Structure 1
Amino acid sequence: MLNSIMKISWRNNLLILWYKFFRSKTNAKNLVRIGKEGKGISNILFLLPAEKKFAQIASHFIKSEFKDNVSNVKYLVHEDGIQFYTDKIKSHTMTYSDVDFNYIGVLTNFELINDIKMSKFEALVDLNQSEEQTISFFSLELDIPIKIGYKSMFSDQIYSIVIKPSSTGFLEKNYEIIEKILGLK
């Protein structure tokens, strides 16, 4: 088991270096104001987990209705995980597969990358909680002002807002925090 953890850590370290040196993004110049008088976020990209254990809870969170000011919500999920989500979101879902990544785990589907970049998202919410999610590292390439994800070994290098996973197992509280931060409810 220790050997597999070391392989994951080595691979993740390599992914961070790859994105920093070869696909570095420009610094975000457009900031989104969130606060009591703020209108909240209107253009959001959710990275959804493909594992059944996490997908069932994430599915409950994303099927809830957002405020009227949220005009564009897109979801990105592995094709093996789409089965865990409702038909309601499938028209707003982009999928990827294992063949969309190179040997070290860098996303190489440039059509998908360009579609995401052209959408000019204001916020990215990564609902993946597994440290084996190489798609989470893709967010390093995106010029999105607010990036929210769960605490992990690499979260401080990936996200602008990090949420500590619930130790009690009640992930709904974490989703409520995300909704409050982005002004979705």
Structure 2
Amino acid sequence: MNQVSRSKSLSSTQVITRVAVLSAIAFILMFFQFPLAVIAPPFIQLDVSDVPGLIAGFAMGPLAGIAVEFFKNILHMLLQGTSTMGVGELSNFIIGSTLVGVSSVIYRRKRTYKTAIIALFAGTVCMASLAVLSNYFVVFPLYAKAMGLENIVAAGTAINGNITSLWTMMIYSILPFNLIKGLVMTIVTLLIYKKVSYLLH
């Protein structure tokens, strides 16, 4: 094996190791959830498990970040089990990968603090937009079917009287929830990324 091959092999091993460690951290963070009862129904809770994915994406590229999002959900299903027939994990992956993928693609073009803010803002907007579409057309119908819920909108109506249909639930609940989630991820990532990124380089 020549020097170039050794370097590539070492680099690949390091990336795999870092992705594995960050996936495990993200999996652990999924246990620390709290509801936004004023906005979202109780089956939708906020956690900061996307932060390791963002750190991976910023440090190693979007594919590494998305890999963290994938493996944390696989770990959750294998070790914790799923109470939603995998629908919750699917939604978590779709939304988290959008935030991580968009943010890291923009950030890698110019690695500055200002670009990081712009990248995370763009990622949040894309995540919130896709959350509305994916939840409306795919996730909520699948969740209602998996859980045997005849009227999933009722959970939203109890929170906000303006929620009278699945679409209004997206506008008054899912959209603001994901905007707040993106803001939380942005703040946490900006606070800790520079402090931990040297460990990944």
TM-score (norm 1): 0.25
Which structure has more relative contact order (CA 8 Å, sep 6+)? It is 1
TM-score (norm 2): 0.23
* Structure (1 or 2) with the larger CA radius of gyration: 2
More strand by share: 1
